[in-house]
Structure 1
Amino acid sequence: MEDNLQKIIYPKTERIDVTEEHFGRTVVDSYRWLENDAPDDRAVSAWIEAQNALTQKHLEALPGRDHFRKRMTELLDYDRYTVPRKRGDRYFFNFIKGNENQPSLYVRDGVFGESRVLIDPNTWSPDGADALTDWSVSDDARYVAFGVQEGGTDWRTIKVLNVESGKELADSLDGARFTRLAWAPDGSGFFYSRMPRPAQGSGRGAVVANHAVYFHKLGKQQADDRLIYATPDRPDLLHGADRVSGGRYLTISSTPGTNESTLTVIDLQARNWTPKTVVPDMESSWYVLGNHGTELLLATTLGAERARIVSLDMAAAKPEPKEIIPEAADGAVLDAAVIAGDTLLVSYQIDVKTEIRRFTLDGKPDGTVDLPGVGTARFLEGDAREAFFVFTSYDAPIAIYHYDIASKKVTPWAEPKVPIDLESLHVDQRFYRSKDGTEVPLFLIRRKDITAAAPTLLYGYGGFGLSQIPIYNPIQLAWVEQGGVLAVANIRGGGEYGRAWHRAGQLENKQNSFDDFIAAAEFLKRTGITSPDGLAIQGESNGGLLVAAVTNQRPDLFDVALPGVAVTDMLRYEQFTGGGLWKGEFGSPAEEKHFRNLITYSPYHTIRKGTDYPAILAPTADADDRVVPAHTFKYIAALQATDLGPKPRLMRVETRAGHGAGMPIDKVIAQHADMWAFAAYWTGLKTTLPK
C-alpha cells in the first residue's frame, strides 16, 4: 500500500506547443490539445482514462477512505426541508429523506398539515444524476412549472405538472439555461429564459450567447412561444425574468455576468406587455422585493455600498428612486428582504452573522425578529399573516421557522434531528490581518476537546461578491469529527462587507483575495491552531482558482491542495461556455491591462519549477459546462510535467456530473471521501470510525 501512495509514475502526456504573442510577451500553451472535449477524440479520452486509473489506484490505498465514506453516509441520513412557498392554502417545498440522491417536491395542505410528494426525481435515472432544479407554482396553486437537469449540465428541460392530479402536461420546453420561472397572474402560462443550443459537434465549450426571455402559453408548442425581451445588440447579456408572488410586475435583470444589472419592467395588467427599462446602466445591483400598488420596492447598491431599500413609482413617466430604508449606519450589510403585508423583513449581515430587522412599508423601524441562535437566517416569502425563515450555522442544521407577523411569534416548522452530537462542537470567529493590514474574519470549527494544534482544512472562495456565510455541512463535519479543524476565511472578493469588499478582490485587485487567504494560512500555523505539516486548502470554481493560485505563490505554506472544478487558464477562460460572463470579475485577457494582471496569477502559467509542492488532488466533472474540465486537464498535465518534488499531483473526474448543482448524494459522498482521505493522509490526520 505504501508504494502506491509514495511512488507515483504519471501517464505520458504529449506536449504540442502552441506559441502566441500577447502584447509583446510570448506565451507557450503546451497542452491545448486537451481542450478538445468531443466524445470521439480518442487521444483525449485515452489520456483521461489513464489519469483516472492512476488516481483511483492512489485513492484505493488511502487508509481513511472507507471511514469517511461510511461516516458521511451516516451524517447525511436525516430529513432536510427548504422554506415553503405559499400559494392559496397550499405550501410547496423541497424535501430530502435520509440518503436520497435528489430533493423531491412536496405539497402540504395547510401550514401544519399532511404532506404528499409531487415530483420525485430519484426515479428519473438509475444513477440518480438527473435532478429537479428551478420550479414555480401558479398563483392559484393549480400548476407547477419545473426544470429537469440531466447529468449535471447547465441546460434545462422545462415541464409542467397538474398539482391536483399529479400528472404532467404535454408541455415540454428545450434550451432553457440560467433561467427563472415566473407565472403570469392568471396562470395561463409562464415566463422563462432560453438560448440557442450550440451546433452539433461544437462540444461543451460553445460560448453562452443570445439569451432571451419568452412566454410559454400552456397547451401550445414551444415554437409558438412569445419573445418578451432580448438584446441582439448585446448577445453577451443574461436576462433573468421574475415576478414576486402576487405581484403586478414582471421584472427583467440584464447583466454581462456581474452583480450589477439593468432593470426592465413589464406591467402585466397592461394589454401589450410593453417592456420599460427603468435602470438603463449597469452601475448598481437591483433586487426586486415586490410592489405596493404602482410602487415597486427594491433593494439596491445605488448610492449605498452596503445596500438600501428604495421605491420606484411605475406610474411616473420616468421613475426615480425614493429612499425607504437608508444604508445601515452601523455598518451592517443588507443581505435580503421580503414584503409581508405592511411589514418589511430585512436580513442584515454583521461580521458575517445575521440580524433580521422589521420595518413598516414607509421605512420606520419596528423591532427585530428573535432568531434561534447566532448564524445565518433569511426570509424568502411572506404575506400579511405569516412568513417563513431558514436558520443555520456551522453547528446548527438547516431548520425552518414559521413567523406570525402580528404576534411576532416564532414557531419551529421543520427542525431536523441529526446523527451527530452538536454539543461536542465548538465554533469560534477570529480576525486576522492580511498583507496590507486589512482585518479579515475567519471561522474555526472543531471538537471542544481539540485544544492543541491539529490538521486543518482551510476553505475559501473570494469572488463575485458571494459571501461565505455560516451554514451546516455534514460533509465538512466528517473532517471535524475525526479531530481535524475546519477553517473558513471570509476573504476579499466576497460580499461579507458589501460592494467595497467585493471590489477589493476584483479585477486588478484580485491579488488581495490571494493575500488574504495566504495570511489566513499563516495565522493558523503561527497561532498553533494548525499542526506544522498539517494544512490542507480547498475551494471550488472561483475557489478552485484561489487554491491553485496560492499554491503556486506559496507552495511552502501548504501541505495539501484541493482545487475543485477550478478556473486555471486565465488567458483562455472566456473562450468556453459561460467564461465570457466572468470578464467583469477577472478582466478580459484580450485587453492589455487585464492580460498583464491575469498572467501574474493564472495557475496554468505560473507553476514554479524546482520547488517542492503540496500533494494536489483536483476534482472535476465530465459534464461541467460552466468551468469546462479542460481547465483541470491542462493544469494537471503541466504540474505532472514539472519537477515539483515527490508528492502526488492527481485529478479526479466524476462522470455524469457538472459544476456541483444536481450532483447526487452518493457521488457527493464518494468525491469528498476521496478528498478528505487524501488530505488526511498527507496532513497526518488519523482516521477512525466513531464508537
Structure 2
Amino acid sequence: MFRNTLLTGAATALVAAAIPAAAQGQDLTAPDYPETRTGDVVETPFGEEVADPYRWLENDVRTDEEVAAWVASENAVTDAFLAKLPGRDALKARITELTDYERFGLPTEKGGRYFYSRNDGLQNQSVLYVRDGLDGEARVLIDPNEWSEDDATALAGYTITEDGEKLAYLIQDGGSDWRTVKVLDVATGEVLDDTVEWVKFSGLDWAKDGSGFYYSRFPATGEGETFQALNKNHRVYFHKLGTDQSADELVYSTDDQPDLNHGAQVSDDGRYLVVTSSSGTDDRYEVTLIDREYPDAEPMTLVPGFENNFSYVGNIGNEFYFVTNDGAPLKKVVKTDITTNDPMWHTVIPESEQTLDGVSLVGGKLIASYLVDAKSKIEVFGLDGTPQGEVELPGIGSAGGFGGEPDETETFYAFSSYNRPSTIYRYDVATGESTVWAQPEVSFDPDDFVVEQKFYTSKDGTRVPMFLVRSKAVAESGEAVPTLLYGYGGFNISLTPGFSPSRLAWMEAGGAYAVANIRGGGEYGKAWHDAGRLNNKQNVFDDFIAAGEYLIDQGITPEDGLAIQGGSNGGLLIGAVANQRPDLFAAGNAAVGVMDMLRFDQFTAGRYWVDDYGYPSKEADWKVLRAYSPYHNIRSGVDYPALLVTTADTDDRVVPGHSFKYTAALQAADLGDKPQLIRIETRAGHGSGKPTDKAIEEAADVLAFLAAFTGLKLEE
C-alpha cells in the first residue's frame, strides 16, 4: 500500500522530516462540508430508539439523482482539499516509479503450453500470455486494456482445458463482483460465441474431456436491483461448449436452502464433481460428490452438517485427500476411500504446532504451507504423510502457489515480502530444487529496508504479533518516526508479508509501516478467529489499540505521529477504534468499510457476514453490534483524528451507502478542527480489478493525507 537525510540511494527526491504540514503554513483545518439532508427515520429495535437520518444515502448512486449530487459535492470538497496537500504530486511520482516494474503471475501448464499473466509495469490491467513450452516465445492471448476506454474492465480469472486448446475466462467490469464468462481458442486467439452471465462468487473448472465447464451463478436480478439486492439461490451449472447459456445443465442446487453457496471442482481423475457448500463466511462446509460417469446416480454427501472445514486437496483413484479442522483447530490432512459403504477419515498429516494454511497434491507428494507467526513455511510430505523436507524460502515473507496435478513433475510458487516484490520460482517436485522463473528489476535496494517481527500484549494479556518495516537507517537510529499501522481482524483472514509500492514510498520518506496480526484473523487457527468475532469482536479493537500504544511506548512513533488504515472489515476496524480512542491516532483511512452494523445484512453479500458479526435481528447480537457500530457511536464534542473515508460508487460487496452514511454523520458532529472527508472513486468497486492508474492516484491521495497529519513532510 523517500528517504530521510540519513539514507543513501537513488530515491533522494523526497525528504522526510517530522514537521507537521500545518506548522509550515499549510491550512489543514476542516473545510466547509456540503449540506446533507437529514431524514426522520427512527426505529425501535428491542426497545431502543435508533435514528437513521441518512438512510436515503443507501440508495444506488446510479439511479438516485439526489445521492449522485451528494457524491459529486463531497468529491468536489475532498478533491480541493487533497490538491493542496504538500508533497502529494512528488509522492505520486515516486509511487509511479516504484510501481513501474515487470510483474508476473504464476504459470499454469496444460498440453505443453504455459499460461501466465504479465504486467510491463504501468499497464492498467495485466495481460495474459501463453508459451509453447517452458522457454517458448511468449504471445498475447488476452489484453484487457483493449476492453474499455477507462481500463476498468478486468480479466478476473481463467481455466484451461487439459489439452491446452481452449480457455474459459471471467470478465469483471467496473469493479463489480458480477462476472461474464467467455471462451477463447488458444491456437487462433478467436473468442468463441459462448457467453455465460450472472456469475458471482464462482470458480470455473473444465470437464477433463474439454466438452464444457462448471460454474456457479445466481438468478438474474430485477431492474435496478443488480448491485444492491441480496444474493440467494446459488446454483452449479454445466455449460456445454458451443451451446447457448439457456441450455446449460443444472447440476446442483438447494432450493429449499436458498442461503447456501456452492462451489464446484472436477476431481483429479475427472470422474467426480466435488461440490463444496457453505452457509456464510465461516469455513464450515458440506461436501457432496456427484458421479459424472453415472448421471442417474444420487449425489453422495461425503461431509454433512456444516460443522467443520473440509477442503478438497486431490485424489488418487478412490482415495480423496482433504484439509480439515475437525478435531484439529490448526488443521490437518485426512483421506478416505469413497467407495466404502461408510467412508472413514484417516489422518495423513497430523495437526502441527503451526497453522496449516493450504495443501496441494502434486507429483505424488503433498506440499503443505504453514503459517509460523504469520510467516510462510513450506513442508513436503509423501502421500502416506512421511516428511520429506522443506522448501527453502529467502526469508520473512509469504509463499503461495504450488498448484498442479498428481502426476506432474513441476509446480510454481511466488515469494514476496514487504521489501521484495513477488519472485516466481519453478519447483522440481522430484529433486526438491527451486529455480527462479521470473524476478523483477526494481528501482530500489531491498536491503535498504528492515523487516522485523515484534510481539506486544493486548488489553486482556494476549500476546499479539506485529510486522514492523522501516528503512535500515531509521531502524538503526532509533528515531521515533511517523508510522502507518494497518489491520484487518476478521473472517479467518491472515495478514502475511507482501509488497506495496505506495507503502515503500512511505518508508522511503522516513516513515515506518506496521501490520498488527490481531484476533479475528486466521494466523493461529480457529481459536484466534473465534476470539475476534461475534461477542468477542471487541478483542479486535482492543488488540489494534494496544498495537498503537505499543508503537508509541516503544519510541517507534511519536504520540502525534500514528496513522491507521484498514479496508472492508478493516474499514470497520478504523471506524470503531477512531470512536473508542480518538486521542490515540493522528489520522486514519477507513476504506470500503462496513459502517452500519445494524443493516449490513440487507445488501448484496452482507448476509454472509453474520458468521463473524452475528444477526442484527437477534437481540443479543444486536446489542453487541450496537455497541461498536461506527455509524452509531460517533462521539460529538470530542476531538477526532483526521479521517479520509474511501469507497467507490460501484462497490457491490460493501455497498457505498455504508461509507456515505458514516461520513455524513462524521461531518454533522462536533469533532474538532481536523477534517472528516470522503473520497469516492468511480467504476472501481471493492478493489479487485482496479486499474493501475486509479490505484496510484488513490494511494497518493491517502498517504499524502496521512503524512500531513502525522508530521511526515514530503518534498514538494
**Alpha carbons 2:115, 2:131 under 8 Å: kept:** yes
Which residue is 1:685 aligned to? 712
> Deviations for 1:6-44, whole angstroms, at most 9, x for unmatched residues?
251111111112111111111111110111115342221
Aligned partners of 1:394, 1:542: CA distance in 2, in Å?
Answer: 22
1:349-364 to structure 2, matched below 5 A, reads 349-364=371-386
For 2:509, the aligned partner's letter is Q
Q: Residue 233 of structure 2 corresponds to which residue in structure 1? A: 210
Indicate the SS of the match to 1:531.
Answer: coil
What residue number does 1:124 align with? 147
Shift of 1:203: 5.7
- Match in the other structure for 1:535: 562
Offset at residue 274 of structure 1 (A): 4.6
Residue pairs, 1:36-55, within 5 angstroms: 36-37=59-60, 39-55=62-78
Question: Contact conserved, 1:247 with 1:290, CA < 8 A, in 2?
Answer: no
Q: Does residue 243 of the first structure (1) align with residue 266 of the second (2)?
A: yes
CA distance 1:72–1:38, change in 2 (3 Å)? closer
Aligned-pair distance for 1:84? Answer: 1.0
Residues in 1 aligned to 2:157 and 2:256: alpha-carbon distance in whole angstroms: 28
Q: CA deviation at 1:343?
A: 1.1
Q: Does 1:306 align with 2:330?
A: yes
Deviations, residues 604-661 of structure 1 (Å, cap 9, x unaligned): 0011111000001000001100000000000000001111101000000000110000
Change in 2 beyond 3 A, CA 1:308/1:247: farther
Q: Which has the higher contact order (CA 8 A, sep 6+)?
A: 2
Q: 1:373 aligns with which of 387, 395, 406?
A: 395
Using a 3 Å threshold, how does the CA distance of structure 1 residues 634 and 203 change in structure 2: closer, same or farther? farther
CA distance in 1, matches of 2:589, 2:454: 24
Does 2:249 correspond to 1:226?
yes
From 114, 122, 130, the counterpart of 1:91: 114
Contact 1:37–1:203 (CA under 8 A) maintained in structure 2:
no
Aligned alpha-carbon RMSD (Å): 1.4
- 1:38 and 1:203 in contact (8 A); partners too: no
User: Of residues 321, 341, 347 in structure 1, which corresponds to 2:369?
Assistant: 347
Q: Which of 594-603 and 372-381 deviates more?
A: 372-381
Are 1:353 and 1:375, in contact at CA under 8 Å, matched by a contact in 2?
yes
**Aligned residue in 2 for 1:78:** 101
Judge conservation of contact 2:631–2:665 (CA < 8 Å) in 1. yes
Equivalent residue, structure 1, for 2:10: none
Please tell me whether residue 545 in structure 1 is matched to residue 567 in structure 2. no
Partner of 2:508: 481
Q: How many residues align?
A: 687
Q: Are the counterparts in 1 of residues 111 and 163 from structure 2 also a CA contact under 8 Å?
A: yes
Q: Please list the CA deviations of residues 577-616 of structure 1 after superposition, one character each: whole Å capped at 9, or x if unmatched.
A: 1100101110010011100100010000011111000001
CA 7–619 in structure 1, closer or farther in 2 if over 3 Å, else same = closer
Give distance in 2, aligned partners of 1:381 and 1:178: 20
C-alpha distance in structure 1 between counterparts of 2:96 and 2:61, whole Å? 35
Runs of 5+ consecutive residues of structure 2 not aligned to the other structure: 1-21
Aligned partners of 2:215, 2:417: CA distance in 1, in Å? 33
Whole-Å separation in 2 of the counterparts to 1:55 and 1:639: 14
* Structure 1 residue 283 corresponds to structure 2 residue 310: no
Post-superposition offset of 1:379: 3.4
Per-residue CA deviation, residues 277-307 of structure 1 (Å, 9 max, x unaligned), is 2111111112211101011111111111011
Q: Work out the percentage of aligned pairs sharing the same amino acid.
A: 51
Shift of 1:175: 0.5
Partner Cα distance (1:387, 1:88) in 2:
15
Residue 486 of structure 2 corresponds to residue 462 of structure 1: no
Does residue 55 of structure 2 align to residue 32 of structure 1?
Answer: yes
Read off the aligned partner of 2:448 and give its amino acid letter: S
Question: Is 1:492 equivalent to 2:514 in the alignment?
Answer: no
Q: Residue 655 of structure 2 aligns to a residue in which SS?
A: coil
Distance 1:274 1:171, change over 3 A: farther
**In terms of mean alpha carbon deviation, does 246-255 or 351-360 score higher?**
246-255
Matched, 1:335 2:392: no
> TM-score under structure 1 normalisation?
0.97
The residue identity in structure 1 corresponding to 2:361 is: I
| Paired position in structure 2 for 1:433 | 457
Which amino acid is 1:467 matched to?
Answer: S
Q: Is the CA contact 1:278–1:318 (under 8 Å) kept in the aligned structure 2?
A: no
Q: Secondary structure at the match of 2:230?
A: coil
Q: Secondary structure at the match of 1:604?
A: helix
Matches of 1:247 and 1:465 in 2, distance apart? 31
In the aligned structure 2, how far is the partner of 1:336 from the partner of 1:654?
35
Shift of 1:348: 0.8
1:575 to 588, 594, 602: 602
Q: Specify the code of the residue in structure 2 equivalent to 1:381.
A: G
Provide the C-alpha distance between the structure 2 equivalents of 1:667 and 1:194, rounded to a whole number of angstroms.
29
- In the alignment, which residue of structure 2 is the partner of 1:401? 425
**Cα pair distance change 1:40/1:378, threshold 3 Å:** closer
The Cα offsets for residues 194-244 of structure 1, whole Å up to 9 and x where unpaired, read as: 112321023622111111110000011100000011111111111111236
Give the conservation status (yes or no) of the 8 Å contact 1:459–1:539: yes
Tell me, what secondary structure is at the counterpart of 2:273?
strand
- 2:136 is aligned to 113
Q: Is 2:494 the partner of 1:471?
A: no
**Which residue pairs with 2:167 in the alignment?**
144
For residues 9-24 of structure 1, the aligned pairs below 5 Å read 9-24=32-47
Per-residue deviation, 1:67? 1.4
The question of 1:60 aligning with 2:87 is answered no
- Give, in angstroms, the shift of residue 247 of structure 1: 4.6
Q: Structure 1 segments of 4 or more deviating over 6 A?
A: none
Match of residue 684 from structure 2: 657
